[in-house]
Amino acid sequence: MTFEALGLNTSIIKALTDAGYTAPTPVQQQAVPAAIAGKDLLVSSQTGSGKTAAFMLPSLHRLAAIEPAAAGKTPNQEMQASRARGERPRFKAAQPKMLVLTPTRELALQVTTNTDKYSVNLRRIKAVSILGGMPYPKQMQLLAKNPEILVATPGRLIDHMESGKIDFSQLEILVLDEADRMLDMGFIDDIEKIVEATPATRQTMLFSATLDGVVGNMARRITKEPQIIQIVSSANKHENITQRVHFVDDLSHKNRLLDHLLRDEALDQAVVFTATKRDADTIADRLNIAGFSAAALHGDMHQGARNRTLDSLRRGQVKILIATDVAARGIDVPTITHVFNYDLPKFPEDYVHRIGRTGRAGRNGLAISLVNHAEGMHVKRIERFTKQLIPVNVVEGYEPKKTGSAPRTSRPGGWKPGDNRGGAKPGQRSFSKPSGAPRREGVGGSSEGYKGPGFKANNPYNSDRPRRSYGDR
């Protein structure tokens, strides 16, 4: 299957060839022709499946077909024209043709960057992101260009809508990216308000890891006779990512093991996930002192600092990123070879999102969870959710002293980015004892079950997951 066969215009195909894309991914094969035909779509596919191009390519194709005359003047041109007529220039609201809603700023920027890549030969089409944390004058400047495509987080968009800066009466295409995440994050009222402000004639495409429950209900309300596309690709199951659990006795053991694993020769770049922002900062400081080039990324940082950190990661200047869930969502850096769960995530879905930061663009990855003995049940919940057993590994010289939560499957030996062993298959679990003699160093008190400063059991908002009250503004 080729991109030509999907019916895309030649300018877009040239951009894809230049970007090194040779063939459409499964979600693109199904979504692109249906979307070009103007159908509403409900797509269950995950990040890493090529979903951004699946909605953006057909949208660009349709927007490129609109006559320039019909596109009208930009607010800037309008203001110049009224000045020339000797009138006092009046502000004119931006009238985008396409809106993409995303749960996080990072994902919005990622979508905009990819859009710029795909539309490089379509000079008339501009895409801008409207995000919380971006200075207001800068956003007004962007809106004044009357971009065809707006990519936004719901909270900030509502602000602009309510102050009359954006008019959706000309909107033709609405995309909800990672809709399940947006609902998890409490954006449902904002989304409903935004959808209500758009014309009923719009085309709607909703992408989500799941189409069940609340997401499914909303999806049915906002689409018309949608085509349902469900992709169960190997990327969804993360078969290209080797997963491991390492049991640790206490915090000191965890830190020593992390330092050791970060020295893996096969490691190019890594993301280390923590439960709290404070831990992310502390670990980043500690790793820098230990000689790693590390940086923290979390929701307390200003947008500018977050962007700079992500740029440094993309350029390879930062080798190890220490991040919280919300901040790291949507990070797409193909050179990330390793993901570490310093703390396990509260929700099994977050585990899937976290490990998906590696194994991008068809590569392989390694995901290692450092688990306290008391967290065995947590691992089981993740295994039930992913329907994969996660093998337990032991590193010689770093064996846990306790054997209560008995390592199940040991996969000794090194891992290379070329490995592609996936998770354990059922039946691989074996209750073997850890090998090697336990070392007696680092008897570090009773931090078993430690979850970082400020941890409150069963509090889903312990991380920087935005709550309805403050959203991602």
Beta strands in 124-279 (DSSP E): 127-130, 149-152, 173-176, 203-208, 227-230, 241-248, 269-273
Strand partners, 43: 207, 229
Listed in sequence order, the residues at least 6 apart from 244 whose beta carbon sits closer than 8 Å to its beta carbon are 366, 367, 368, 369, 390, 391, 392, 393, 411
| The token pair that represents 27 in the structure block | 């979600």
Closer residue to ligand AMP in complex, CB, 106/383: 106
CA 170 to chain centre: 29
Give the DSSP letter string of 279-291.
HHHHHHHHHHHTT
Three-state DSSP at 264 gives coil
Closer residue to ligand AMP in complex, CB, 170/420: 420
Q: Are 233 and 225 in contact (CB under 8 A)?
A: no
Least distance (Å) from ligand AMP to the CB of residue 19? Answer: 7
For position 21 contacting ligand AMP by CB under 6 A, the verdict is yes
Residue from 29, 31, 34, 51 binding ligand AMP (CB under 6 A):
51
Closer residue to ligand AMP in complex, CB, 113/403: 113
Closer residue to ligand AMP in complex, CB, 47/463: 47
Count residues binding ligand AMP (CB under 6 A): 15
Listed in sequence order, the residues at least 6 apart from 307 whose beta carbon sits closer than 8 Å to its beta carbon are 109
Residue 69-108 contact track with ligand AMP, rule CB under 6 A, x = bound: ----------------------------------------
Strand partners, 392: 245
Residue from 228, 361, 374, 443 binding ligand AMP (CB under 6 A):
361
For position 25 contacting ligand AMP by CB under 6 A, the verdict is yes
CA distance 60 to 149: 9
Closer residue to ligand AMP in complex, CB, 245/336: 336
Least distance (Å) from ligand AMP to the CB of residue 114? Answer: 6
CA distance 174 to 190: 14
CA distance 40 to 43: 10
Closer residue to ligand AMP in complex, CB, 207/247: 207
Least distance (Å) from ligand AMP to the CB of residue 32? Answer: 10
H helices within 136-227, ranges in order?
Answer: 136-144, 154-162, 179-184, 188-196, 213-222
Least distance (Å) from ligand AMP to the CB of residue 54? Answer: 7
CA distance 235 to 231: 10
Residue 31-50 contact track with ligand AMP, rule CB under 6 A, x = bound: ----------------xxxx
Residues 145-184 that bind ligand AMP (CB under 6 A): none
Give the DSSP letter string of 49-96.
SSHHHHHHHHHHHHHHTS-HHHH---HHHHHHHHHHTTPPP----B--
Least distance (Å) from ligand AMP to the CB of residue 134? Answer: 22
Closer residue to ligand AMP in complex, CB, 232/361: 361
Closer residue to ligand AMP in complex, CB, 119/409: 119
For position 60 contacting ligand AMP by CB under 6 A, the verdict is no
Least distance (Å) from ligand AMP to the CB of residue 361? Answer: 5
For position 358 contacting ligand AMP by CB under 6 A, the verdict is no
Closer residue to ligand AMP in complex, CB, 48/466: 48
CA distance 39 to 58: 11
3-state SS string over 351-362? HHHHHCCCCCCC
Least distance (Å) from ligand AMP to the CB of residue 116? Answer: 12
Residue 113-152 contact track with ligand AMP, rule CB under 6 A, x = bound: -x--------------------------------------
CA 322 to chain centre: 15
Closer residue to ligand AMP in complex, CB, 333/379: 333
| The token pair that represents 32 in the structure block | 């692109």
Closer residue to ligand AMP in complex, CB, 52/255: 52
| The token pair that represents 431 in the structure block | 């209750």
Closer residue to ligand AMP in complex, CB, 151/389: 151
For position 356 contacting ligand AMP by CB under 6 A, the verdict is no
For position 409 contacting ligand AMP by CB under 6 A, the verdict is no
Q: Which stretch binds ligand AMP (CB under 6 A): 21-29, 61-69, 289-297, 443-451?
A: 21-29
Three-state DSSP at 206 gives strand
Residue from 180, 250, 332, 464 binding ligand AMP (CB under 6 A):
332
What is the maximum span of the chain, computed from C-alpha positions, in angstroms?
87
For position 242 contacting ligand AMP by CB under 6 A, the verdict is no
Q: Distance of CA 256 to CAs 108, 287, 343, 397, 441, Å? A: 36, 11, 15, 10, 11
Residue 90: HSE in the Cβ half-sphere, 13 Å Cα cutoff: 5
Q: Which residues bind ligand AMP (CB under 6 A)?
A: 21, 24-25, 28, 47-53, 114, 332, 360-361
